[in-house]
Chain A
Amino acid sequence: MTDYRKMWSDLGMDLEKHDRLTSALPLVYEEVYLQQKDRPQAMEYFDLVVAEIHSLRIAELVEHRRRGGKVCGAFCVFVPVEIVRAAGAIAVGLCGGSQFWIPDGEKVLPRNLCPLIKASLGARLSGTCPYFQSCDLLIGETTCDGKKKAWEVLGEFAPVYVMDLPQMKRPQDLAAWRKEIELFLARMEELTGCRVTPERLAEEIRLQNRLRRALERLYRARKADPVPVSGKDVLLVTQVSFYDDPPRFIEKTEAVAAEAEERIASGRGVFPSGSPRILVTGTPMAIPNWKLHHIIETAGAVVVCEETCTGTRFFEHQVDESGQTLEEQLQALAERYLKINCSCFTPNPGRIDDILRLVEEYRADGVIYYNLQFCHGYAVEYYAVEKALKARGIPVMKVETDYSEEDAGQLRTRVEAFLEMLR
């Protein structure tokens, strides 16, 4: 195996601290992933991705930069990666999902802030995330107050560009968002020195649509009973989609989907037919945050769908591919991205429609509302979601948690009691 220490050191990382971070992962992965029974063979690739999480893909980023290419990091499903790639850069997702980074994040951020933001900044400040270290530009957005203000802090440590996402969906908001994408395109051209041509952009739009369709296909397999692939495995695939090489990711995801489809044809599942089916909705789960899924799936139920940013919000809706000019393409991008129903919008009835539709499509028996602590948008929106679900007799439970394990016992009790209620 290649020694990556020199690469990490060249990236300016804190090697000792990094060793501590990476030493815990194999044990957790073994318990959470490898002990699952009868996983699809094609998940092997994703096991490899995790085993080499800070090496294989990073080596590709380093090579890309050595040849003069740029790397951009983003924290949100609203950032149009098609533009990043059409300008010749590589886009990677940077959301932090590990408790390891929280103390470093809390050095510059209030403790009562969402763990995703704290972990993301902590990852940068501690110099232990090679993805952060590989980025030439960080792309923030204004999806919540915590992030919006955190970019100002992050800006002291790395170059940051912020996209202003409107928080309503009126025609003037769409126009403003389209303008933001145009400005973003100019910033990307400035960064890479490459012109974004309609041809290149069309290619990237098609590629990202293919990537979305690959995930959609994998998700479709989860509608079957018995479920051919675990929620944990699909969550991992989705998490990896944020930083893997897109063509390779598409191929590997389609392999998992194809295997899942074969299993459906022969009635084979990873959980017994009739196991309680859970739809998870709410805040994103950045790698290696598998906490809730693990609790649910070791309590005898299966997660069949995530209405989250690491779920349907990421891949639903395609960008219209018919645009010939940049004008038309930017409009199509703006329209597609503004279809995402994030709780940062007011009002946000589309999300409730999505949840109700997904409960039906995925034949969910109950909904678990996942709220990262201190994420106010999603916490407040629970009121409306709960009301809509209860009005239709769909059981729902809200859990508010962070990345630490200290509440795992209580969470387990609540999840188990919720499942007892469904049975």
Chain B
Amino acid sequence: MAVLGIDIGSRTIGVVVLNESGEMISGRVFDSGPRPLERAREIAGDLSQYRHIVATGYGRHGARADFATDLITEIKAHALGASYLFPSCRTVLDIGGQDSKVIRLNEHGRVVDFIMNDRCAAGTGKFLEVMAQSLGLPLEEMVAAAAQSEEKVLLNSMCTVFAESEVVSLLAEGQPVGVVARAVLNSICDRAQNMLSRMGIVPPVVFTGGVAAIPGLPAYFARRAGLPDLLVPTSPQLVGALGAALYGAGIEVKGKATG
């Protein structure tokens, strides 16, 4: 029977199904909407088709109380998913809708340390969304506009609310949209790099989460952070769900048996 991994995040719900032999037979991303738990239950559909349903993400406890058979944290899920896709992975950078984290794996793919942002949305996908809105650009275009622009201004505020008013002031001063977009991207990239340095960068680094799915962003980050070998999965948003499904299937590439 199949195994379902479901990652219920603040912005999206990722779903991965593994078949009997542990092969991924589907992987999809949905908007969380205003009621993520109900949405997740709906997406899971007919529960009887699954041997295990493993939930992760901030909605994991709700899902476990409702329909999931097991849960793991998003830290473990991203670690499992990333080291399955890239078995040599030693560092995971995950930037999601409302949190960001850096995970250190040992040579066996086991989590040995991690850091995670505190309560605020600084340096997360939410931050980028808010800034893109102020800039009047879709996220994808924001990266392109930034890459083509000069580096002239700095965003000083980490706080999403303050940074937003800074963006508005810069635009009012007459700074071109691309220049301000560049400042926004640099701000989030530098924050991510700062987290990486705090943990100590052990390559290879795998970049996961919704922010890594923004076209052009991983390449921009890799250049700025001086990480030419940055690894990015095809579907960065599904790494958490994949990790959850792998856990349910009892598959860990080279790690110890799951607890």
Interface residues of A (CB under 8 A from B): 395, 400-401, 406-407, 409-410, 412-414, 416-417, 420-421, 423
Whether, in the assembled complex, B259 has its beta carbon less than 8 Å from a beta carbon of chain A, the answer is yes
Enumerate 12 A-B pairs (CB-CB under 8 Å) in ascending A order: A395-B112, A400-B118, A407-B119, A410-B116, A410-B118, A413-B73, A417-B111, A417-B116, A420-B72, A420-B73, A421-B114, A423-B259
**B contact residues around A421 at 8 Å (CB):** 111-114
Given A409-B58, A410-B99, A423-B259, residue A416 in contact with residue B118 (CB < 8 A): no
Contact A417 B118 (CB under 8 A): no
**The residue from B58, B76, B119, B259 contacting A417, defined by CB atoms under 8 A apart:** B76
Task: From known contacts A407-B119, A421-B112, infer whether A413 and B259 are also in contact, taking CB-CB under 8 Å.
Answer: no
A residues less than 8 Å from B119 (CB atoms): 406-407, 410
Residues of B within 8 A of A412 (CB): 61
Q: What residues of chain A lie closer than 8 Å to B112, measured between beta carbons?
A: 395, 421
- Interchain nearest-CB distance for A167 vs B (Å): 28
Chain A residue contacts of B73, Cβ below 8 A: 413, 416-417, 420
List the 7 closest pairs (A to B, CB-CB), nearest first. Answer: A417-B75, A407-B119, A417-B73, A423-B259, A416-B73, A420-B76, A421-B111
Q: A416-B73, A420-B259, A421-B113 are in contact. List 17 more A-B contacts (CB 8 A).
A: A395-B112, A401-B118, A410-B116, A410-B118, A413-B73, A414-B116, A417-B73, A417-B74, A417-B75, A417-B114, A417-B116, A420-B72, A420-B75, A420-B76, A420-B111, A421-B111, A423-B259
Question: Whose C-beta in chain A lies nearest to the C-beta of B76?
Answer: A420
CB of A413 within 8 A of CB of B118, answer: no
Q: How many residues of B contact A (CB 8 A)?
A: 16
**Which residues from B are CB-within-8-Å of A406?**
119
CB–CB A413/B72 < 8 A? no
Task: Output the least CB separation between B209 and chain A (Å).
Answer: 14
Q: How far is the CB of B140 from chain A (nearest CB, A)?
A: 29
Determine the main DSSP class of A at the interface with B. Answer: helix
Chain A residues within an 8 Å CB radius of B75:
413, 417, 420
For A404, give the chain B residue with the smallest CB separation: B119
Chain B residues lying within 8 Å of A420, measured Cβ to Cβ, are 72-73, 75-76, 111, 259
Distance between A406 CB and nearest chain B CB, rounded to angstroms: 6
Instruction: Kindly provide the distance from the CB of A77 to the nearest chain B CB, expressed in whole angstroms.
Output: 28
Nearest CB of B to A408, in Å: 10
Chain A residues with CB under 8 A of B72? 420
Task: Tell which of B58, B111, B113 touches A413, judged by Cβ atoms closer than 8 Å.
Answer: B58
Question: A421 vs B80: C-alpha distance in the bound complex, in angstroms?
Answer: 12
Which of A395, A400, A407, A420 counts the most chain B CB atoms within 10 A? Answer: A420
Question: Looking across the interface, which residue of chain B has its beta carbon closest to that of A402?
Answer: B119
Complex: A405 Cα to B58 Cα, angstroms: 15
> A413 vs B100: C-alpha distance in the bound complex, in angstroms?
12
Chain A residues lying within 8 Å of B259, measured Cβ to Cβ, are 420, 423
Q: Could you mark each residue 116-131 of chain B with 1 if its beta carbon is under 8 Å from any beta carbon of chain A, else 0?
A: 1011000000000000
Q: Pick the contact of B116 from A395, A401, A413 — CB < 8 Å?
A: A413
Measured in the bound complex, the distance between the Cα atoms of B116 and A100 in whole Å is 28
Interface string of B48-91 (1 = CB under 8 A from A): 00000000001001000000000011111000000000000000
The smallest C-beta distance from B152 to any residue of chain A, in angstroms, reads 31
B246 to chain A, nearest CB (A): 14
Most buried by A among B58, B72, B73, B112: B73
How far does the alpha carbon of A423 sit from the alpha carbon of B247 in the complex, in Å? 15
Residue of A nearest to B72 (CB): A420
Q: How far is the CA of A236 from the CA of B259 in the complex (A)?
A: 32
Q: Which residues of A contact B118 (CB under 8 A)?
A: 400-401, 407, 410
C-alpha gap A395/B119 in the complex (Å) = 22
Residues of B102-156 at the interface with A, using a CB-CB cut-off of 8 Å, are 111-114, 116, 118-119
- Cβ of B76 and Cβ of A413 under 8 Å apart? no
Per the bound structure, the CA–CA distance linking A166 and B25 in Å amounts to 67
CA distance A406 to B118 in the complex (A): 11
Q: Which residue of A lies closest to B117 (CB)?
A: A410
With both chains docked as a complex, state the minimum distance between the C-beta of A297 and any C-beta of chain B, in angstroms: 15
CB of A386 to closest CB in B, whole Å: 10
**Residue B74 contacts which of A395, A400, A413, A423 (CB distance < 8 angstroms)?**
A413
A295 vs B113: C-alpha distance in the bound complex, in angstroms?
Answer: 19
Residues of B near A417 (CB, < 8 A) are 73-76, 111, 114, 116
Complex CA gap A395/B104 in Å reads 13
Residues in B14-28 with C-beta less than 8 Å from chain A: none
Chain A residue contacts of B116, Cβ below 8 A: 410, 413-414, 417
Rounded to whole angstroms, the CA-CA distance of A410 and B120 in the bound complex is 10
Shortest Cβ distance from B95 into chain A, in angstroms? 15
How many Å from the CB of B223 to the closest CB on chain A?
A: 30
A400 contacts across to B, CB distance below 8 A: 118
Tell me, in angstroms, the Cα distance from A416 to B72 when the chains sit together: 8
